[in-house]
Structure 1
Amino acid sequence: MASGEEDMQNPGLAGDPPQQSHAAFLGKLGLLEFYPNRLTLKYLLEINHDTMSDKELLSLKDVPLAFLKKLLMVNTKCWNYTCTDSETTPNKDSDNDDDEEEEDNEYDGEEDMYSDDGKVNPLDLVTALYHCADSFLQQEMAIKMSMCQFAIPFLLPQFSESCCSLMLWALRNIYKEWRPRDQLNTKQYVEDSVVHAQIPVLSFVRLGNCSLSKSQLLNHVLSNAQHINVFTHRDMSGGNAPKKIANGLVEIAWCLPSGKSTIDVFPEPVAIANMRGEISSSDTQFSFLMKVSAAVFVFLDTMTDEERQLLDSQGSLKSKLFLVINTQRKGLQRKYTNALKLKEERVLRRERRLNMAESNTLITDAMKTALKECTEMSTLEEMSDIALNMGISVDENKVKASVSAKATAETIMKGIGNSPVEDYKKIQLPLQGDILKELAKTEIEACRLQNPGSLSLEEHKAQLHMKRQKLREHQRTIKISEAAGMFIQALSTVDKDERAFFLRWIALQLDRKSRKRTNRTPQRIPRSLHGK
């Protein structure tokens, strides 16, 4: 991407000023000057004394840029940069028998929003950076997080009246590859954008206080004994810090088959959405996940009447629910089955004596059941229509320059693919056809003078010069085609934001078309559960 694009300030994303508590938190991280969406990739790629060395993290204001620096280097240890060097964060094993410990350390007690305790929750850090990063830096962060096999923000909680935003643009440049079940006997695999691929979504949420960490459990399920922290959890560096702004964040990750049953968790691709915080305080996100997911797994210890009514209000979508009750009481399983009128196999009781491996098997079997029952799938791009109908904003629609640039790019791309590429080039790119080839041959002969025939060298050079002149005159008689004219006009706009978005939209669409046309047959699939 050109530096002009990376230097964008994204004025189209300027929103309402953050609330006082959010502004205080951004100030604590030294990010308030970048809100909203003023942090650019060009700024991060500047070469100076600080970027050439690992600066000691003396305060939380040093944390965000240190984290981004490591993330852009695809350093999977970047989560270690969520605490200052003076802060000690012992990594203790989680106690699953502690009834009072909540998932992700979400305490009921009041926390001091303004205290600087030397560490920040990784989810808060990512949420804050997404609010301060421009559209292109968000895309770059998403790509690097995908390469590190981290979960990526899918629904981002907002500081303004809009409850959240669907991060469709940030995900558009991520491609995954997998080998589905019907191609096990071949060396071919599927490669597609995560935005356009039809992959079922399984969502995981929490109801009330739950002593079982669903994020840790999901990591065990997805990593298949590889010990990959796809989702951040309380036992990671900074994970036990109370969340300030990340409640309502929904992350997404993909579990993709390689064709080898010994390492594949599921035989078909599946997307995992993990909502942070409690569903009663993020009911819009919960309702959205209910509509777009093949199944929604609800983790809980107990359920109040109000919480039962929240689940019961989902109507016909209630059939998608799987309850995961973390309790020793056998009676709760039957009680909630009858109260919500669910099938018995959809109410799972996870006894607290079970270890993580046994819990893994319980959840994995239920997920496989949900995938077998899934009959309809939609793409993330199709989900954007559902989001808009629910009042959820879509990131790429919030920027006026992006909307107009996308329309121009789609108009130019319409002719590509409807007819053979050769025919399209003859019509829309005539100057690069036979005339250009003949001109190139003439230029080469003018330099080499290898075929003068019966002519002297001077006569041969004069003949080649005349031929070049005629070819140039012929080129000047050809009018600019419609597609070329639109492309030149888009590049000539004085709005540098729209020009940068146009180039990115064209690149995204050309890349997708070229990937579809390329028949790749690699010898093996990488052993990564998240594709490449």
Structure 2
Amino acid sequence: IRLDLKYGRSKMESHEEGGPRISAVPQLLKRLGLGMNYNNKLTKGGFLEITTSSIQKKESKTEKDLVHTFMQRLLTIDYTAKHLSVKTEGPIPKSQHTAGKGSFVAFFKKNAKNKENKQIKVHPMDVQMAVFLCADPFLQQIMVTKLSQCQYAVPLLVSNPSTGNIEFPLWTMRQISKSWKTTDTSGRVTSKTLPMYKAQTPMVAFFRIGSISSSKSQLMNRLINEKHNTFFHRDCPGSSRDTDNFSDCVAFCNLHGDSSINETQRKILTEMSSVNVVLLPQLDESDNNMVIVQELFEGSKPLIVVLTDEEDNDDDDDDDEGEDDVCEIRERKYRVSLKGRNQSDVSVALREVIKNCLSEQPVTFSVEKIAEHSEITVDEDNEDCKRGKKSAQGMMRFLKREDPSTVKEKYLPCQGKLWHDWCQKNKDLRLKSETVELEKSEKEEKLKQIRRKQQNHGFSELMGLFVGSLRSLLDTEKMYFLKWTTILLDDFTLETCSVLLQEYHQKWSEVLALKKTDKEKLKTEQLNLEMISNKLNFASFGLEHILREMGQIYEASVSERREDRVKDEDLSYLPELAAELMISGNPMELMDGDAAHVPLVWVSAVLDKVIRKLGDQRVFVLSVLGIQSSGKSTMLNAMFGLQFAVSAGRCTRGAFMQLVKVSEEMKEELKFDYILVVDTEGLRALELAGTDTLHHDNELATFVVGLRNMTLINIFGENLSEMQDTLQIVIQAFMRMKKVRLNPSCVFVHQNVTDVAAGEKMMEGRRRLQENLDEMTKLAAKDEVYDAECFSDIIAFDVQKDVKYFSQLWEGSPPMAPPNPRYSENVQELKRDIVSRASKTNCMKLSH
């Protein structure tokens, strides 16, 4: 079964028992080249590498290419992942008949191909489920998360081909959160955000009895979203309308196959559902399956019976179209006939009936509660997952009944005020080069005192458990432990952060309005906005904060060697633990955004351990810079299939780095071994900013572009006045690089452009950008006391090659809209360009 919660509605889809028929599974896996992977599971590493196929735009030529094509598109949030086919090359097959060949009579002859030797094409849904069955739990979780982002239904109940048991992949849904708007009892519309597995919603269950002529999935798509095929069906045609058909969150569940055979799944669904919709060819009292219909009819829940092959017996002549599309047999029991009816009219009428049924305080369910059914197996019941969860829950017991805004101060003391004071004093010491020796000595002593205080704090109970778990758990258990820690911490801070985010967005809107109307009141509201932002930072508590505390404990340890330290206090294992996490694909904090400081001792120690494990690898450094909420993390995630945190609030601060491996086949051609991807926090819009924020943004930009080799300058929209704030900061940063003889490159990415195909419009946009860059370069040159007349004087720049235009991310209005496939194409075109340029660049070593 498959699930996805969205604004206005949610939906689920169920595979018939065995998905692809159990007897056919081994044959299917063999055809897709997955024969060896059912027991030796596929991992995310194999799909995230830079390979020839991942950077080339081509159709699958063989069935064995289908898996990689599907996964590459899915990981880059391209919903055409399900539009799979094998591209056949060669002439169109000719008729095998000899008699009358070439004559008009030949049109009436049936092809004499041997049907026994003709192989049925692999269905795209079979490709998806074959990869899902062969994937390890962490790749399955990524797949389901990406399916949800593509606005597809996700697996909910899946039959195990080996045992026939019905499995519930709860683990795969743990990362998915959904937002929707709801109306409270007073009529006030509010936004709501919850993890999918916790959301309490009504559910409409769809299933069929026997063989029917109409597509059940197609009918469901028309009910939910006529533009996007949430459920994959036999035809999957396009559509031109984009509407929100339900005013609150509803789950739609689609049981594939004949429900009279899939009895266990049918019973689970009807037990949880608020409304049952049954499709069957016709009503026949002699049919044994009528027992199922009668049982539902006599039950307390609303029932809608949809007849696909039987016309309604109502002979009344009624000129009002659509009024008799639905016939109410008795209270909340309905019959609908599809034959001879306009499908669009029937969908409208059926939708109204469902909405009416749901308006009467329906039964609700949550995904997590499905695990309580004794007839199914839950994927989280494996021993590795249970050990990882137990360790994470052991940590979380310290946070029970604690206020999220104060827990960091209590359990992560080394990164709070002490660390911020150390950073400020360290900056003061380095900025004042003319400081007399005595004053310099005094400041150095204060830095040492702060480090001693950090040492005295040492490991809190929470940190002791975290580090102890990382050291004691096996590799797979450790991966589960980190995931569970993230899940439980998100759950812990969810309510507080959601409220603060709403306050932040409301205040931001007020500040933007005041900019145009009341400049005097603007400053006061800017301070209020800053206060909310600080509260949000205090309440944010994630895995990155725990890893940051590890870094500070280590830095304090190596900066001050105390005589009273015992031998087993050596903490050199801490950077080794962080290096293992980085190698396994976890992002590592490069710059602490709260303190606006790079913990050089810690970062250097971690990279040294990485070098010791991997060797001194060649890396191409790719960073991104742009204002907040401009789609930087989303772009990097789509480009490389990564999972950098994406949120509408300012919960992520600083800069994070992640290694993307180059496959062995590509290393010689590209001349580097890894891409080091650096994601950064957004620059704040200058109209909301004070002096401190401007200084912070300038420091961030200088640091990011100084990492080299390439910086993506992300600009949202085409408004030049909105671009100028970002351009000013970027130009000054590149000018500083030029002064110290560093030569990074840059590419400007304009996101959310309405018409990327309009050549003349794009030429005009490039011309205006060039003029702005040159003009602002002259102004910046005066501030920086540097001789430059145009932007190309400070950096190699070609306005034709180094400016990219991206389509808007969504097809319609989020959060219901699916991602725009054209956006994914734009991202992949940029990726190919980056890799091509990188192959001609002198890449640095990790040790540099």
Q: Matched residues in 2 for 1:363 and 1:357: separation?
A: 10
Deviation at 1:427, TM superposition (A): 2.6
TM-score between the two structures when normalised by the length of structure 1: 0.76
Match in the other structure for 1:325: 307
Cα distance in 1 between the residues matched to 2:351 and 2:169: 28
Give the alignment of 1:121-520 within 5 angstroms. Answer: 121-182=123-184, 188-223=190-225, 226-236=226-236, 263-302=243-282, 303=284, 305-312=287-294, 317=299, 319-328=301-310, 330=312, 343=330, 345-385=332-372, 387=373, 389=374, 391-397=375-381, 399-416=382-399, 418-449=401-432, 457-516=436-495, 517-518=497-498, 519-520=501-502
CA distance in 1, matches of 2:78, 2:186: 33
In the alignment, does 2:94 pair up with 1:71? no
Q: 1:402 and 1:232, CA in 2 relative to 1: closer, same or farther beyond 3 A?
A: same
| Structure ranking higher on relative contact order (CA contacts 8 Å, 6+ apart) | 1
| 1:21-76 alpha-carbon deviations (Å, 9 max, x no partner) | 32112111111222147112210122222322234533322212111111222222
Give the structure 1 partner of residue 752 of structure 2.
Answer: none
1:530 is aligned to 816
Query: Which one is further off, 153-162 or 506-515?
Result: 506-515
Could you say what secondary structure the match of 1:32 adopts?
A: coil
Q: CA offsets per residue over residues 262-305 of structure 1, 9 Å max, x none?
A: 94311211111111100122111101101111112110013554
Cα 1:450/1:188, change in 2 over 3 Å = farther
Moved more, 201-210 or 358-367: 358-367
Percent of counterpart pairs with the same letter?
A: 25
| Corresponding residue SS for 1:204 | strand
Distance 1:183 1:194, change over 3 A: farther
Query: 1: distance between equivalents of 2:302 and 2:189?
Result: 35
Once residues 489 and 87 of structure 1 are traced to their aligned partners in structure 2, the CA distance between those partners, rounded to angstroms, is: 61
Whether the 8 Å contact between 1:60 and 1:84 is mirrored in structure 2 is no
In structure 2, distance between residues paired with 1:408 and 1:315: 48
**Which range moves more in the overlay, 429-438 or 57-66?**
429-438
Which residue identity lines up with residue 272 of structure 1 in the other structure? F
Residue in 2 that maps onto 1:23: 26
Give the Cα separation in 2 of the matches to 1:138 and 1:87: 37
Q: Which amino acid aligns with 2:463?
A: A
Cα distance in 1 for partners of 2:117, 2:176 equals 36
Asked whether the 8 Å contact 1:143–1:174 carries over to 2, the reply is: yes
Q: In the alignment, residue 366 of structure 1 is paired with which amino acid?
A: V
Structure-2 change in CA distance of 1:402 and 1:126 (3 Å): same
SS in 1 for 2:50: coil
Q: 1:113 to 1:221 in 2, by over 3 A?
A: farther
Classify 1:113/1:35 alpha carbon distance in 2 versus 1 (closer, same or farther; 3 Å). Answer: farther
Task: Give the secondary-structure state (helix, strand or coil) at the position aligned to 1:180.
Answer: strand
Determine the C-alpha separation between the residues in 2 that align with 1:371 and 1:509: 32
SS in 2 for 1:136: helix
Letter in structure 2 aligned against 1:54 = K
1:446 deviates by: 3.1
Larger Rg: 2
Match of 2:156, SS state, is strand
User: Counterparts of 2:387 and 2:347 in 1: how far apart (Å)?
Assistant: 47
Q: Is residue 202–residue 295 contact of structure 1 (8 Å, CA) maintained in 2?
A: yes
Residue of structure 1 equivalent to 2:54: 51
CA displacement at 1:408 relative to structure 2: 2.0
1:51–1:531 distance in 2 versus 1, CA, 3 Å? closer
- Counterpart amino acid of residue 445 in structure 2: M
Going from structure 1 to structure 2, the CA distance change for 1:360 and 1:19 (only over 3 Å counts) comes to closer
The alpha carbon displacement at 1:513 in A equals: 4.1
Distance 2:192 2:122 in 1: 39
Using the TM superposition, give the Cα deviation of residue 531 of structure 1 relative to its aligned residue in structure 2, in angstroms: 6.3
SS at match of 1:378: coil
Query: Whole-Å Cα distance in 2 between the matches of residues 413 and 378 of structure 1?
Result: 26
Kept in 2: contact 1:176–1:191 (CA 8 A): yes
1:94 corresponding residue in structure 2: none
Hey, what's the Cα distance between the residues in 2 that align with 1:462 and 1:346? Answer: 85
What SS does the aligned partner of 1:286 have? helix
Deviation at 1:530, TM superposition (A): 2.8
The CA distance in 1 between the partners of 2:815 and 2:428, in whole Å, is: 54
**C-alpha displacement at 1:482, in angstroms?**
1.3
Q: 1:152 is paired with a residue of what secondary structure?
A: coil
| Deviation (angstroms), 1:430 | 2.4
Shift of 1:218: 1.1
1:423, distance to aligned residue in structure 2 (A) = 3.5
How far off is 1:501 after superposition?
1.5
Distance 1:404 1:113 in 2: 51
Q: CA deviation at 1:160?
A: 2.7
8 A contact 2:302–2:332 mirrored in 1 = no
CA distance in 2, matches of 1:123, 1:208: 21
* Residue 438 to residue 154, structure 1, CA distance change in 2 (3 Å): same
Code of the residue aligned with 1:222 in structure 2: it is I
Q: Secondary structure at the match of 1:199?
A: coil
- Structure 1 residue 235: deviation in Å? 1.3
Counterpart contact for 1:150–1:230, Cα < 8 Å: yes
**C-alpha displacement of 1:204:** 0.4
Stretch of structure 1 that moved more, 482-491 or 186-195 = 186-195
23 and 428 in structure 1: CA distance in 2 versus 1, 3 angstrom threshold: same
RMSD: 3.4
| CA distance 1:329–1:53, change in 2 (3 Å) | closer
Work out the CA distance in 2 between the residues paired with 1:502 and 1:74.
Answer: 27
Please report how far the alpha carbon of residue 206 of structure 1 lies from its aligned counterpart in structure 2 after TM superposition: 0.4
Distance 1:45 1:184 in 2: 48
For normalisation by structure 2, the TM-score amounts to 0.49
The one-letter amino acid paired with 2:270 is M
Q: 2:84 aligns with which of 68, 73, 81?
A: 81
Q: 1:442, 1:468 within 8 Å by CA — same for their partners in 2?
A: yes
Matches of 1:510 and 1:493 in 2, distance apart? 21
Amino acid at match of 1:323: V
Alpha-carbon spacing, 1:37–1:88, altered in 2? closer, same or farther (3 Å): farther
What amino acid sits opposite 2:45 in the alignment?
K
User: Is the CA contact 1:415–1:424 (under 8 Å) kept in the aligned structure 2?
Assistant: no
Unaligned runs of at least 5 residues, structure 1: 1-17, 90-111, 238-261, 333-340
